[in-house]
Amino acid sequence: GENVEQHPSTLSVQEGDSAVIKCTYSDSASNYFPWYKQELGKRPQLIIDIRSNVGEKKDQRIAVTLNKTAKHFSLHITETQPEDSAVYFCAASPNAGGTSYGKLTFGQGTILTVHP
């Protein structure tokens, strides 16, 4: 099955700096890659996602890049703010038929701390 590795496990930056979180996946059939943000004690919330037919996607200060050949994808947050502090999870899902459809495999999470 799919295996997703996420790095780093913790990331500390100063306000205004950029933050980058990287994930690698093992299943070449995966073609959907969402990123979730989870604040302490709250539910994960989708912040951006990318499908394998594109290499990059941006939404204001957040961007995701995908390298299908190398099987890795990254989250980029620019001009970080203290409210960006949270746990970030990457995930991967195959576009296979049958029972594998829609099954997300998550990375272990990155604790991002943005210092004012």
Q: How far is the CB of 113 from other proteins (least distance, A)?
A: 16
Residue 5 in tokens: 């590795």
Q: Tell whether residue 42 is a contact of other proteins (CB under 8 A).
A: yes
Going across the sheet that includes 62-67, the strands are: 4-7, 19-25, 72-77, 62-67, 56-59
Q: Which stretch binds other proteins (CB under 8 A): 14-22, 43-51, 54-62, 71-79?
A: 43-51
Phi, psi of 52, deg, nearest 5:
-70, -5
Among 75, 80, 107, 112, binds other proteins (CB under 8 A): 107
Q: How far is the CB of 99 from other proteins (least distance, A)?
A: 5
Residues in 44-63 at the binding interface with other proteins, rule: CB under 8 A: 44-46, 49
Q: Tell whether residue 94 is a contact of other proteins (CB under 8 A).
A: no
Closest alpha carbon to 85 in 49, 48, 110, 60: 110
Q: Tell whether residue 6 is a contact of other proteins (CB under 8 A).
A: yes
